[in-house]
Structure 1
Amino acid sequence: MRTLKAIFDFYLDASIHVAVAVISMAGVTFHLLGSSSDVNLMGFIFFSVIVCYNFIKYGVEAYKYLIVSNAYHKIIQLFSFVSFAFAVYFLLQLNRDIWIATTILGVLSALYAVPLLPSANNLRNLAGLKIYIVAFVWAGFSVLLPVLDAKMTLDWDFAVTFIQRMLLVLILILPFEIRDLQWDDKSLRTLPQVLGIKNATRLGIGLILIFFLMTFLKDEIHQNEIPLRLILSAVLVFILISKKRMQSKYFVMFWVEAIPIFWFSLFWFVKEFF
């Protein structure tokens, strides 16, 4: 039992779970495009997310994450270096458009943690900007890259889907910001800090409504998109109103981050059995 818990904790601590969540979002995009998933792109997204998140988690946000031992930390570092090698390998299999988009998203991710100049703030420390950077990068990896990989145009439906994905990520970040209220520096001006927990929750529910209704702005709607977005929206509302559960380590780190995996599973299940 202790071994299983150690494996599960490593799965969370090494950012494998969040990487699965991001490739699940990319998988949803491929479903919406009616295109097959590209193994090389999914491999690149998976390993690059691990590298990026571990750099941030155990660098600029290390104060939030208790590492039980230096040896455990070194194992995560080694895993991150191996993941970086795999990310580079998969990136080399992709086309030039993916390289350009990845460079832009990578620069944004780097500036999130590393100041452009020694005397400058990183993007994370610019009041209120953190959540939007994360949302944009997630949307870039899970919408823009699959669209470029499928060689489809960046049209109106792409724009709607991109904004919807940003809204989804903003909604998913809220439980983390509520949980981290006791640790986050007040200069970050997160939504719970600015609005309070109750108003931030109300805002989140409003964003869920916009996220769902924006589907009707698309020129072409996937046949299963409306009911599956409705189910997802209901789950998101349940998560936001579960304030007491947000203080649990595993509720936010596992269950909240598992929502994109659940969403992708719905698309897969409907496609396979209906």
Structure 2
Amino acid sequence: MNWLKYIFHFYLDASIHVAISVFAFIEITCVFFGLSRDNHISYLAFFGTIACYNFVKYGVEAKKYLLVANRYHKNIQVFSFIAGIFAIYHACFVSFDTWVGIAILSILTSLYAIPLLPNTKNLRNLGGLKIFVVALVWAGATVVLPVIAANKTMGWDVGVEGVQRFLMVLILMVPFEIRDLEYDDPALKTLPQRYGYVNTKIYGFFGVLVFFFLTFLKDQLTYVEVISKGIIFLTLGIFMFITKRKQSKYFSSFWVEAIPIFWWVCILVLDTFLGL
């Protein structure tokens, strides 16, 4: 039983769960736009997420998580290093245009954690900018990169999907922002710090509405997309409603981060078993 608990905690703490969510987002993009599966870009995103997230989590934000150097976190560091090697391996097989996109997203990720110049702030510490940088990187990695890797045109529908993905990630971060309200430095000026816990939830509800109705701006729609986004619309709304300042241990770190995986499963069911 202790081993099961250890494995589950390692699964969460080593960012494997969030990496699967990124992978799921990419698969969703492939379904919506009929893209041929590029396993290299999917695995690059998966392993790259583990390496990048753990770099930030156990480096830049280690103080917030009250982390100390022990064997458990050393194991996570080794695991993250190995994931980074796998990410580099898969990066060797992507196109030049994809590399350009990866470079831009990598620069944004680096500036999120590391100041560009000495005695300057990183993007994370620029008041209120944190979640927008994260959402932009996620949207770019899970919508733009798969389209580029498949040599498809960046058309109107891709742009709409990119905006929707950006909004969805912002919405998914609301419970985390509320959870971390008592831990975040006031200088960060997060949404709950600026506007309060209740108003932040209201903004989240508004974002859920915008996310769903943007769907109908697309030129090409399928039943799978409309129905699955309707399900996610309801799911996000429920999570916004039940989000509290005092959350259960796994509410954000497991259940909220599992929503993209749940969406992917819904799409697979609709697409495969119902034939929509």
For this structure pair, what is the TM-score category when the shorter chain's length is used for normalisation?
over 0.9
> How far did residue 186 of structure 1 move?
1.1
Alignment partner, residue 71 of structure 1: 71
> How far did residue 69 of structure 1 move?
5.6
**Secondary structure at 2:63 match in 1:** helix
In structure 2, relative to structure 1, the CA distance for the partners of 1:21 and 1:246 (3 Å cut) is farther
What amino acid sits opposite 1:64 in the alignment? K
Matched-pair contact (CA < 8 Å) for 2:178–2:244: no
Alignment partner, residue 13 of structure 1: 13
Alignment partner, residue 188 of structure 2: 188
Is it true that 1:120 corresponds to 2:114 in the alignment? no
Where does structure 1 differ by over 6 angstroms across 4 or more consecutive aligned residues?
A: none
Instruction: State the distance in 2 between where 1:68 and 1:234 align.
Output: 39
CA RMSD between the two structures? 1.2
Structure 1 residues not aligned, in runs of 5+? none
Alignment partner, residue 161 of structure 1: 161
Q: Kindly provide the CA deviation profile for residues 33-53 of structure 1, in whole angstroms up to 9, marking residues without a partner as x.
A: 112322111110000000110
Matched-pair contact (CA < 8 Å) for 1:228–1:266: yes
Instruction: State the distance in 2 between where 1:64 and 1:273 align.
Output: 44
Alignment partner, residue 235 of structure 1: 235
**Secondary structure at 1:62 match in 2:** coil
Alignment partner, residue 52 of structure 1: 52
Matched-pair contact (CA < 8 Å) for 1:192–1:200: yes
Matched-pair contact (CA < 8 Å) for 1:175–1:240: yes
Instruction: State the distance in 1 between where 2:142 and 2:209 align.
Output: 21
**Secondary structure at 2:153 match in 1:** coil
Q: Kindly provide the CA deviation profile for residues 138-163 of structure 1, in whole angstroms up to 9, marking residues without a partner as x.
A: 00110011110111111111111100
Q: Kindly provide the CA deviation profile for residues 37-90 of structure 1, in whole angstroms up to 9, marking residues without a partner as x.
A: 221111100000001100010111112324476111111110011001000000
Matched-pair contact (CA < 8 Å) for 1:246–1:252: no
What amino acid sits opposite 1:6 in the alignment? Y
Alignment partner, residue 41 of structure 1: 41
Q: Kindly provide the CA deviation profile for residues 222-252 of structure 1, in whole angstroms up to 9, marking residues without a partner as x.
A: 3311111111011111111113486222111
Q: So what's the TM-score if we normalise by structure 2?
A: 0.97
What amino acid sits opposite 1:81 in the alignment? F
**Secondary structure at 1:224 match in 2:** helix
Matched-pair contact (CA < 8 Å) for 2:35–2:147: no
Is it true that 1:92 corresponds to 2:92 in the alignment? yes
What amino acid sits opposite 1:145 in the alignment? L
Instruction: State the distance in 1 between where 2:246 and 2:254 align.
Output: 11
What amino acid sits opposite 2:247 in the alignment? Q
Q: So what's the TM-score if we normalise by structure 1?
A: 0.97
Moved more, 233-242 or 252-261: 233-242
What amino acid sits opposite 2:131 in the alignment? I
**Secondary structure at 1:166 match in 2:** helix
Q: Kindly provide the CA deviation profile for residues 101-134 of structure 1, in whole angstroms up to 9, marking residues without a partner as x.
A: 0000000000000000111100111111111000
Moved more, 161-170 or 67-76: 67-76
Structure 2 residues not aligned, in runs of 5+? none
What amino acid sits opposite 2:258 in the alignment? A
